[in-house]
């Protein structure tokens, strides 16, 4: 699998992200839902209004979500960031640059919103990552096995209601 980060010369240089990320070849695409600055008790970290604490914890939570599927920040190709106050942009960029690959930063969109779904939340980040290889998830029964299993039950009559069983 190949991943290429680029910034077309026809666009102004972006501050800390890439305009274009292209992937090709076999690989897995991983979508990570929005992460907030929540601890394991599902409570916002830091004092009320502490943007830095929430931002750092959101990135730490994103790292944990990535690790769960065998990915790292180097595999992230796109992030979406939601801030409730754009005056925090400088802190956001400082924290982001501690976690993401500065040599090949992912494509990024950052927007200001009036509020997050979680009262008191100041920052949320979601990500898309691309990882080479197959999923580490346990394999489920394939459809042919399920069909064969049903066929055996049907032959014996045990998989059918009494009114439909062969006599």
Q: What is the pLDDT along the chain (167 residues), one digit of tens a residue?
A: 788 888 888 888 888 888 888 888 888 899 999 999 999 999 999 999 999 999 999 999 999 999 999 999 999 999 999 999 999 999 999 999 999 988 889 999 999 999 999 999 999 999 999 998 766 555 454 444 444 444 444 455 555 555 555 55
Say if residue 84 is in the same domain as residue 121: yes
Distance CA(85)–CA(137), nearest Å, equals: 38
Say if residue 27 is in the same domain as residue 104: yes
- The span from the first CA to the last CA of the chain, in angstroms, equals 56
Q: In degrees, to the nearest 5, what angle opens at C-alpha 68 toward C-alphas 130 and 31?
A: 40
Say if residue 88 is in the same domain as residue 157: no
Distance CA(145)–CA(63), nearest Å, equals: 36
Say if residue 143 is in the same domain as residue 63: no
48: its two tokens: 């009320």
Q: In degrees, to the nearest 5, what angle opens at C-alpha 120 toward C-alphas 117 and 122?
A: 80
User: Nearest CA to 105 among 138, 81, 135?
Assistant: 81
Say if residue 142 is in the same domain as residue 131: no
Domain residues for 18? 2-136
pLDDT of residue 87: 98
pLDDT of residue 73: 96
Say if residue 152 is in the same domain as residue 131: no
């Amino acid at each position: 699998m190949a991943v290429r980060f680029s910034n077309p010369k026809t666009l102004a240089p972006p501050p800390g992200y890439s305009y274009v990320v292209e992937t090709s070849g076999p690989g897995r695409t991983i979508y990570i839902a929005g992460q907030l600055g929540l601890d394991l008790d599902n409570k916002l970290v830091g004092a009320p209004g502490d943007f830095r604490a929430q931002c750092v914890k959101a990135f730490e939570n994103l790292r944990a979500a990535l690790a769960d599927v065998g990915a790292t920040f180097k595999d992230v190709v796109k992030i979406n960031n939601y801030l409730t106050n754009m005056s925090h942009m400088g802190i956001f960029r400082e924290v982001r640059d501690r976690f993401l690959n500065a040599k090949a930063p992912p494509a990024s969109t950052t927007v200001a919103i009036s509020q997050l779904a979680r009262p008191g939340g100041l920052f949320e980040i979601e990500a898309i990552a691309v990882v080479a290889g197959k999923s580490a998830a346990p394999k489920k029964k394939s459809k042919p096995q399920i069909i064969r299993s049903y066929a055996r039950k049907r032959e014996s009559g045990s998989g059918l209601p009494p009114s439909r069983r062969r006599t």
